[in-house]
Chain A
Amino acid sequence: MGKSWLRAYILKRLLYAVIIAWGILTVTFVLVRVGPSSPADRYLANMTASGQDVSQIVEAIEARYGLDKPMHEQYIEYMGNLFQGKLGWSFSNSMPVIDLIKTHWIYSFQLILLSSIFAALLGVVVGIYSAVKQYTKTDYIATFFSFVGISLPNFWLGVMLILVFSVKLGLFKTYYDTGLPLFSLDNLKALVLPVMTLGTGMLAGYVRYTRSAMLDNLRKGFVTTARAKGLPERTVIGKHVFRNALLPLVTIVMFDLGSIVFGGAYLTEIVFGIPGLGQISFNAIFANDYPVVVAVTLIGTSIVLLVNLVTDVAYTYLDPRIRYD
């Protein structure tokens, strides 16, 4: 089947994505900038302590960074720079935002990637098993724990894991050690608790979604006929049931990714002191360092929009019935 329409569809979606990202950035920019304090405030405490005139300092700093101009001019200037690929200057870190992101993105990326893999693989396996063994003890146990897992807020879970595994049992450090080489066992070990913190909620969700999607399809007539044809049970489950259950699962996994990027990963980074994008964005909010806040929002937004597009394109391959016009 030719998919010539797919190209036009992707182009159209990319155009929408740019418009949406622009809208979100505008809102973020305005929200950060309407606050009563200025990025210049952070310099004040030191400088007033050394006897300088407060208002002069503020004016000097604001003039230097263009903060004295009316907001709409600042907005146009910021967007113009962004359009040229310039993310601006971080006041609180005294370095270009792009360099800040370059040093910190990897910490968020490894956390989100490992948590997603952990949750998706284990969740799908347990979910399939639970569905095939519906109403057995194993199924009840899996269902019970997935219910508990969904209900736990992950910042609380993180603190509890630290309390039990680090403080009481001494198996792990209480914080994430940034000095470790990325591709080392020690780094992997340091990520065990953060991944469990971020991954448990996802895992529990995937178990439940996989189970119910599998059960939906297990009841279908084509499963009965497949068995009647003499297809081995393993193939019936893999080929006819799981593949049909995959579509709703992909939706959930991809949808989750958005909420993880913006929610769970931030909190997990803060609980474990992981210096990822969530952490720097969190600090930047308190420091009124708006270029960092807007830049991190831009990254998150782009990821979510791209993932949604990839999901919609993936559907057309997973289900031959789907086409977009």
Chain B
Amino acid sequence: MIRYAYLIPFLPLSSFFVNIAVGKRLPRKGDWLSLATIAACLLMSIGIFYEVFRAYDPNFRYHVVVPWLSVGNRFVIDAGILIDNVTAVMLLVVTIVSTLVHLFSIGYMHGDPRYNRFFAYLSIFSFSMLGLVLSESLFFIYIFWELVGLSSYLLIGFWFEKKSAADAGKKAFIVNRVGDFGFLIGILIIFSTCGVLGYDQVFQAIGQGKLSGTLLTLAGIGVFCGAIGKSAQFPLHVWLPDAMEGPTPVSALIHAATMVAAGVYLVGRVYPIFTPDALLFIAYVGLITLFIAATIAVTQNDIKRVLAYSTVSQLGYMVMGLGVGGYTAGLAHLATHAAFKACLFLGSGSVIHAVHSQDIREMGALRRKMPITFVTFLIATLAISGVPFFSGFYSKDMILAAALEFGMKHPQHMIFFLGGLFTAGLTAFYMFRLVILTFFGKPVDHHKFDHAHESPPSMWVPLVVLAALCFSFWYSGWFGTLIRKPASAANPAAVSSPAPAVPAERGLAPMEHAAVPAPSPSREPAPAEPGHGQAPSHGTSVAGEASHAAGPSAHGESLAEAGHEAHLAHQAHAYAMYSSVTVGALGILLAFVVYFFGWIDPARVANAVKPLYEFLLNKWYFDELYEATVIEGSKAFSRFLAWFDLNVVDGLVNLAARLGVFLSFLVGKFDNYVVDGAVNGVATVTISSGSVLRRLQTGKLYHYVFVLAGGALIIFIIRAF
């Protein structure tokens, strides 16, 4: 199965071409084609995952490359795919959510005039996303990165008749460009120093010291800029809430589960290139994002916007988790979040479909009308709130544990844990606010309530499947074993892979070459740092342990410290678990107190802290800030350029024109009198001399011969005598 993995992206691509070209004329407008191709991808992904799972090897790798483009020896780009445990999990996540969203869309988009185009766009998105997941070099991930951006643009602006949708599409695209520019700079830094773009080659080159120090940090931050844009991190998070203008299945697929997680995936993929400084930067970006987004989510009334800010906040968790060293935690949260957030979004789609409104103040008591939607929505909400036995608990707990551990080692950075903990409570609060206002209480708008009904099976089946995936037993155990933090490429002495990296070569096609082994300590002795003064061999035995929770300055730790660290990790985990459960419960309780029992009137609270409320309701005035600075700034700059163009440039041009006219006048005079005079003079001389000389041309042959012979004779005589 795994040897056919390269086929996976091409199935949706073929479906895209068919649907965009002749989809309208196919039976059922071609939705079955898109669904069938993505389902085939799902089956293949399950097969791959099965193989990976059966191997149960943290270092599992399947790496195939074929030469694709080579200009001389310097510029060589390979095409290929790389499947390790992270890829396999990501493939599974993408294909499951994508398949369910396809299924959901059949019901949700029913009757849309551009039904076939919608499925075509979904297909090209699936193609790009799967290609992104499978790519083995920065070059190809960048290509697919832009392709997912394109499909996101197309799908956000799918109802482009609506101005807000068209604007949101543009906004998403432009904001993403900002991040992608940083990504490109990062790639170019890496390429210009290392000369290669494949992940393994880059890690190896960095291990050899071709790129290090500040430049490496900058390259890491540059690459992370791509993630900032795509994963809607502060300060480029503004596009994601607006992207909710797209159809709800799109929001579930692209803007909750998969594409926005691509940034996190990218960070995970290139994790070894990040220096401690870069990781700290990443962690702070994540922290700021998760806090800001959660506070905004508390005040929003649009069901999809609440979910959107919640998505931003959860992405912040993942990024922070990766930043503080919780590699497994961040990626686990990616997977669990994909399931419960897709469930939430599809549930909200189901609600919107039923009541034709997105304002939660117009809903209420829907649990009686839509029992399946309610139950699944509730399960997903429990998951995101971090209630035990649900998936969110498992992953968020790991992130908080990682943050606490980081804080214990570096007390000045304790804020990661505190901020994350506080926001966990906030998350539980605003999510239950959403659930209570939507499904509990009394119907607010009776007209809408009466028309509400449960959705068709094609819509609730995905909900049930996704809700089933919200339980933690799906993830616990194997996830932590299979997905391990990779060794940092920059300081190979401090870390080591637990076993020598064995390239997965069983039953592979002959064209692939062995994966580049990770830098192993036996091969590369530790750089002798004067401060530590320890034998280079010392780090190797410890490194396996240390690497699991290696902080930025972990290399060269002593054995006792490693033991201490393991203890620390265990302790941190316990603390984090207790505190997060407590805080989550508090949040839920508060939500019930305020919105269910009505003991505290939210309006009065809002009035009491009116400036804060306004501030949050207006999303920290980010849009206004960008409007005032970036947009107004560029407008003012444009006006200045227009003025400059009108007055200075045009003035110069006009001056040049006047000068040209004057010069032309002079040149004309000169031409008339001097040049023409000279030409006419030459002509006159030629004519008069010609009329004289023509007499020499008698046309008589013997004259010519005579002159010829006579001339020769004269020359002879002169030469001879």
A and B bind:
no
B residues near A (Cβ < 8 Å) are: none
A residues near B (Cβ < 8 Å) are: none
